[in-house]
A and B are shown apart, each in its own frame.
Chain A
Amino acid sequence: MANVGIVIVSHSPKIAEGAADMVRQMVGGSVPLAWTGGNPDGGLGTDVASIIEAIGRAWSDAGVAVLVDLGGAETNSEMAIDMLASDRRDKVVVCEAPIVEGAVMAATEASGGATLDAVRRTAEELSPT
C-alpha cells in the first residue's frame, strides 16, 4: 500500500510552503505531500475549499495526516474532512502537533510505510501532555 499522505494547513502560505519544503528536503519524495495557506483574498487565513483540494493532492489510500497551526486552521480542516466523500472521510485525521515539527516527524514515520494511526501518534508525541 502507498505511504500515508501529509497535508500542511497554515494561516500563512509562506509557513505552509516552508514547512512543506522542510519535509521534502529532510524526508524526500516518498510521501504524498500538499500544503495550503491564506484566504482567497490573499490575506492570512485558511479556506475550506483549498484544504479539500490539498487533501486530494496528497491523497493516499493509506490515509492522510493533516498538520495545522492555530484555531481556524483546525476547525476549517475538520470541516473540510466532513465534506469529503464518505469513503475518504475516515482516512483523514488532524494531528494535535506543532505544524513544522509535526509535519517532519509524521512524514518520517509515513516514509517507512507506517499506518495512519502510527503516523498520527508519532506527530502527537511532540505535544506536551
Chain B
Amino acid sequence: MTVRSPNDPVPKSNAVHTGSALLTNDVGLHARPSVKLTQLAKRFGAHVEFARTAAGPWVDAKSPVKVMRFKAAKGETLHFRASGADAAEALAAVVSLVERGFAAEGEDASQPRRE
C-alpha cells in the first residue's frame, strides 16, 4: 500500500490520464466558459483536475467556485488530469471543450445561449 500525501488526491491504483489544450477563445476561462467546464466535468464519475503547468497546483474541475477563480487568459495552456472509471472519456471531453473555444458541439462560440 502506497502512502499518499494529502495534496495528491489521485489514487495510485488508478491510471491517471493527462492532456492539455490551449485557450484560444477571446475571453479565456472567464465566467461562462468556467460554468461550462464545471458542468462537463460533473457529467463524469472520474476525478478531474486542471492546472497551469503539468506539475500543478491542481484545481478540482467540478468545483464551480474554484474554476471561476482560476482566471486563465487566452493563450494560456490548461493541463488536465483525470482518474477513475471513466477518466479517459472525461479527459477527452474537457480537452475537446477547450479546443472548441467552449462552444457546444456544432455551436458557434460567439453566440450566447438563449432561453
Contacts and interface: CB of A to CB of B under 8 A. Distances in A.
Contacts of A47: none
Nearest to B66: A125
B38 A108 contact: yes
A122 B31 contact: no
Interface of A: 24-29, 104-105, 108-109, 111-113, 122, 125-126
A26 B38 contact: no
Nearest to A119: B64
Given A105-B64, A126-B65, A24 B115 contact: yes
A37 B4 CA distance: 50
Interface in B58-73: 62-65, 68
Contacts of A125: 63, 65
Contacts of B31: 26, 104
Interface in B68-115: 68, 112-115
B39 A27 contact: yes
B35 A112 contact: no
A113 B62 CA distance: 12
Contacts of A28: 39, 113
Given A26-B31, A108-B35, A112-B43, 18 more contacts: A25-B112, A25-B113, A25-B115, A26-B35, A27-B35, A28-B113, A104-B31, A104-B35, A105-B65, A105-B68, A108-B38, A109-B64, A112-B38, A112-B39, A112-B42, A112-B62, A122-B63, A122-B64
